[in-house]
């Protein structure tokens, strides 16, 4: 019987393309899907691309794998992943590896890894970004799990990952759920990046009065500079597209209610648990949520706003470019802060610079700018925030006047820019000498005797607000 180096079960778009990618790189791939029609279809259509070993049953699939077995699950995240693990784990032996390439919640991954570790099976929660095209031509791959399993899996995954400057966009992220955690934050950053781009478009459209095709040109120009990235590139493509049915700009015929699958929400929920301010990601998630509340928006249609006018002069596009770059730096600084905090909380020892490096290609947020982030962490792995890296400090310093101007203009014209404004507020909060949190602490002490610390003495204190207002040591 023909043996395979690796197997993929779950052959919808992602699994199918991942299996083809592996086969195209010379790895024999065992194939399995709950509904065997998908397995047959893959072999019929793409059998010539490499060596495939189709299997109709879990038993035949497992029997076709070289030992230690490498079994990749690419099914719908959640219940289906548990169902597949329950089906396959009893057929495996100590030392075998189950790779979950789905978009799992890292908490589930930690649970699954711990349970399978007891049986000697390596569970490798792996973030994969790049959609179906990436899966076929080279995704960004973020594997968690044990270092031992990476030694056996890494070479195959690095083979099929995207490559930038000769470096594969795949590295061992850290133990248990580290890979899925980093993929989650990647998606959160993707939300923030998309929101900032959307706000830039909105300003160019409604403050500068440009048509979508003209804005496409602005984005094309931006894509030749420091903002060069996949998301900026596709934004230009989308804005230049005309709807065939109506002849109108395509962006004008798309319903303005954004959807989400959940990784942005998980990022924010997790950040709240870790106490990390990821306001850029949170505003992006909320902006999608606001857009989806059709009834609420309908009810608010006639709320008064400023009389809208256009901004005179042609400088707005340059100012928006600066606001976008500065806000993007903040969003990434917050996302990396979250990875740093998660790594500390769970003992993952994640190399932040390496994360920037593996996001440079294959994934949705791939961008020239990630090289700068990698360099920042190489220069100082302990840097508390990207904003204090010399390059980013200078970039934001140079952009800040324009950034403030853009946020002010948007507020005056009544154009919502939650991403730009929260990024600016975060920046100003970090650099503030004193924050009004002092007043918040005093209020908390007043109504709840929650105590406060002082700037001039160690210890915790409480003022007897309801009495003679003397201060006591708490
Ligand atoms: P889907 O998420 O649409 O899942 C379909 C696959 O799951 C099919 O193979 C289906 O088998 C299988 N499946 C289901 Br549903 N329930 C099952 C069960 N109880 N037992 C066994 N198999 C079951 O596929 P996808 O879009 O290819 O995504 C796969 C994974 O990759 C997901 O976790 C997704 O979040 C993640 N991901 C997707 C993208 C993307 O761009 N689409 C990007 C990155 C990651 P059937 O054929 O028998 O119904």
Q: Do 447 and 426 reside in the same domain of the chain?
A: no
120 is known to lie in a ligand binding site: no
What value does the mean pLDDT take over residues 119-128?
98
Tell me, what's the pLDDT at 261?
A: 84
pLDDT at 312 over 90: no
For residue 177, is it within any domain? Answer: no
Residue 85 Cα to ligand 1 middle (Å) = 14
Looking at 207-302, list the stretches that DSSP marks H as alpha helix, in order from N- to C-terminal side: 212-222, 230-240, 250-253, 263-274, 279-292, 294-299
Place of tokens 């505003």: 283
Which CATH number goes with the domain that contains 164? Answer: 3.40.50.720
442-466 pLDDT, tens digit per residue, is 999 999 999 999 999 999 999 999 9
175-233 pLDDT, tens digit per residue, is 999 999 999 999 999 999 999 999 999 999 999 999 999 999 999 999 999 999 999 99
Q: Do 160 and 12 reside in the same domain of the chain?
A: yes
For residue 359, is it within any domain? Answer: yes
Q: Do 248 and 133 reside in the same domain of the chain?
A: no
Total number of domains constituting the chain: 3
**The tokens of 36 are what?**
């065997």
473 is known to lie in a ligand binding site: no
Return phi, psi of residue 52, to 5°: -115, 140
Q: Do 276 and 375 reside in the same domain of the chain?
A: yes
Tell me, what's the pLDDT at 309?
A: 77
For residue 47, is it within any domain? Answer: yes
21 is known to lie in a ligand binding site: no
Which CATH number goes with the domain that contains 406? Answer: 1.10.1040.10
For residue 68, is it within any domain? Answer: yes
**The tokens of 112 are what?**
């699954």
Containing structural domain, residue 396? 183-431
State the pLDDT confidence band at 98, using cuts at 50, 70 and 90: very high
Q: Do 422 and 444 reside in the same domain of the chain?
A: no
**The tokens of 292 are what?**
């989806």
Which CATH number goes with the domain that contains 460? Answer: 1.20.5.320
For residue 108, is it within any domain? Answer: yes
> In the chain, what is the greatest distance between 2 CA atoms, to the nearest angstrom?
89
Instruction: Select from 150, 172, 194 the last residue of a domain.
Output: 172
Q: Do 24 and 121 reside in the same domain of the chain?
A: yes
Q: Do 269 and 140 reside in the same domain of the chain?
A: no
Q: What is the rounded CA–CA span in Å between residue 318 and residue 69?
A: 54
Q: Do 267 and 401 reside in the same domain of the chain?
A: yes
pLDDT at 7 over 70: yes
% the chain with pLDDT above 70? 99
- Residue 151: exposure state from Cβ atoms within 10 A (0-12, 13-18, ≥19): exposed
State the pLDDT confidence band at 311, using cuts at 50, 70 and 90: confident
44, 113, 118, 190: the catalytic one is: 190
Q: Do 146 and 193 reside in the same domain of the chain?
A: no
For residue 48, is it within any domain? Answer: yes
State the pLDDT confidence band at 2, using cuts at 50, 70 and 90: confident
Q: What is the rounded CA–CA span in Å between residue 45 and residue 47?
A: 6
Residue 69 Cα to ligand 1 middle (Å) = 21
Instruction: Select from 172, 205, 240 the last residue of a domain.
Output: 172
Tell me, what's the pLDDT at 152?
A: 96
State the pLDDT confidence band at 313, using cuts at 50, 70 and 90: low
206 is known to lie in a ligand binding site: no
Which is higher by pLDDT, 347 or 368? 347
444 is known to lie in a ligand binding site: yes
Model-level pTM? 0.96
Instruction: Select from 143, 172, 201 the last residue of a domain.
Output: 172
Mutation pick for ligand 1 pocket among 9, 10, 20 (CB with most ligand atoms within 8 Å): 10
Q: Do 150 and 211 reside in the same domain of the chain?
A: no
Atom nearest to 132 CA in ligand 1: 41
For residue 224, is it within any domain? Answer: yes
pLDDT at 314 over 90: no
Atom nearest to 34 CA in ligand 1: 48
Mutation pick for ligand 1 pocket among 7, 8, 34 (CB with most ligand atoms within 8 Å): 34
Determine whether 190 is an active site residue.
Answer: yes
Residue 398 Cα to ligand 1 middle (Å) = 45
Q: Do 366 and 255 reside in the same domain of the chain?
A: yes
Residue 343 Cα to ligand 1 middle (Å) = 28
Q: Do 18 and 159 reside in the same domain of the chain?
A: yes
What value does the mean pLDDT take over residues 237-255?
98
Tell me, what's the pLDDT at 308?
A: 75
For residue 1, is it within any domain? Answer: no
Return the CA Rg of the chain.
25
381-433 pLDDT, tens digit per residue, is 999 999 999 999 999 999 999 999 999 999 999 999 999 999 999 999 999 99
45, 132, 148, 183: the catalytic one is: 183
Residue 302 Cα to ligand 1 middle (Å) = 43
Q: What is the rounded CA–CA span in Å between residue 417 and residue 408?
A: 10
pLDDT at 307 over 90: no
Asked which of 123-127, 305-309, 352-356 is least confident by mean pLDDT, the reply is 305-309
46-76 pLDDT, tens digit per residue, is 999 999 999 999 999 999 999 999 999 999 9
Pocket of ligand 1 (CB under 6 A): 10-15, 33-35, 38, 74-77, 80, 83-84, 101-103, 128, 131-132
């Amino acid at each position: 019987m023909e043996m395979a180096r690796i197997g993929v079960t779950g052959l919808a778009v992602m699994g199918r393309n991942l299996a083809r990618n592996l086969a195209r790189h010379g790895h024999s791939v065992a194939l399995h899907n709950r509904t065997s029609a998908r397995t047959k279809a893959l072999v019929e259509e793409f059998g010539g691309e490499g060596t495939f070993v189709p299997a109709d049953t879990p038993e035949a699939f497992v029997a076709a794998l070289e030992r230690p077995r490498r079994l990749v699950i690419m099914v719908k995240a959640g219940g289906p992943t548990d169902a597949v693990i329950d089906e396959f784990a009893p057929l495996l032996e100590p030392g075998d590896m189950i790779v979950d390439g789905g978009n799992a919640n890292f908490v589930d991954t930690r649970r699954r890894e711990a349970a399978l570790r007891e049986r000697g099976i390596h569970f490798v929660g792996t973030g994969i970004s790049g959609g179906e095209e990436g899966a076929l031509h080279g995704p960004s791959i973020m594997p968690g799990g044990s270092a031992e399993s990476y030694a056996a899996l890494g070479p195959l995954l690095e083979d099929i990952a995207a490559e930038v400057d000769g470096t594969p966009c795949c590295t061992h992220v850290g133990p248990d759920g580290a890979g899925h955690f980093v993929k989650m934050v990647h998606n959160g950053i993707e939300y923030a990046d998309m929101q900032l781009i959307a706000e830039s478009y909105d300003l160019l459209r409604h403050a500068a009065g440009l048509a979508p095709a003209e804005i496409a040109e602005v984005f094309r120009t931006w894509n030749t500079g420091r903002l060069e990235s996949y998301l900026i590139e596709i934004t230009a493509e989308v804005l230049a597209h005309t709807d065939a049915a109506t002849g109108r700009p395509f962006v004008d015929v798309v319903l303005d209610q954004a959807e989400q699958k959940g990784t942005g929400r998980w990022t924010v929920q997790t950040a709240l648990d870790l106490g990390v301010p990821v306001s850029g990601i949170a505003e992006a998630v909320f902006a999608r949520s606001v857009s989806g509340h059709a009834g609420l928006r309908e009810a608010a249609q006639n709320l008064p706003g400023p009389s809208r006018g256009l901004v005179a002069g042609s400088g707005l596009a340059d100012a928006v470019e600066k606001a976008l770059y500065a806000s993007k730096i903040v969003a990434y600084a917050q996302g990396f802060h979250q990875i740093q905090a998660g790594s500390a909380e769970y003992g993952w020892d994640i190399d932040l610079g390496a994360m920037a490096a593996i996001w440079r290609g294959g994934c949705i947020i791939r961008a020239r700018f990630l090289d700068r982030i990698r360099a920042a962490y190489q220069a100082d792995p302990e840097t508390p925030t990207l904003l204090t890296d010399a390059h980013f400090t200078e970039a934001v310093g140079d952009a800040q006047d324009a950034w403030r101007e853009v946020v002010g203009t948007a507020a005056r014209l009544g154009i919502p820019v939650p991403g730009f404004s929260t990024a600016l507020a975060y920046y100003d909060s970090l650099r503030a000498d004193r924050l009004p949190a002092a007043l918040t602490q005093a209020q908390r002490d007043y109504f709840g005797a929650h105590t406060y610390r002082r700037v001039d003495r160690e210890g915790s204190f409480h003022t007897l607000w309801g009495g003679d207002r003397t201060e006591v040591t708490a």
